[in-house]
Amino acid sequence: MEIRQNVIAVVDDDSQLREALGLLLAVFGYRTELFASAEQFLSAAAASDASCLIVEIELGDISGIELARQLAAAGFKFPIIFLTRSWDHAIRRQAMDLGCVAYLHKSFLAERLIEAIEKATWANLQ
């Protein structure tokens, strides 16, 4: 299988899910950068090779929504796919208002995630 050039950063405080996403993405030929918190990604954002972010909304001190806001305020334009266990429509609206590529409930199918990544990374090439 050909390794794709796209690097996907995963920001999730659930270590098992973060590692599982890393393995899943590797199966599809993506390289990954894995982060346990928004703070960890913020400190690495300038050096990140990520062409897309997968971000859990319900992170610790800084939520995924706040991470997206801080990245935008700092001038970063990473396409973001939000993951959540919540069905809260207000949070979904905030994510959509921030221009997220996809908003997936954590019971998502792998194909939906890969489609969202392909959409995000294709948009980056435009």
Q: Running DSSP on this structure, what letter comes out for residue 120?
A: H
Distance separating alpha carbons of residues 91 and 5, to the nearest angstrom = 32
Domains (range + CATH), the chain: 7-125 (3.40.50.2300)
Distance separating alpha carbons of residues 18 and 52, to the nearest angstrom = 15
Query: What ranges in 30-88 are assigned the alpha helix state H?
Result: 38-44, 64-73
Each residue's pLDDT tens digit, 65-113: 999 999 999 999 899 999 998 888 999 999 999 989 999 998 777 888 9
pTM comes to: 0.88
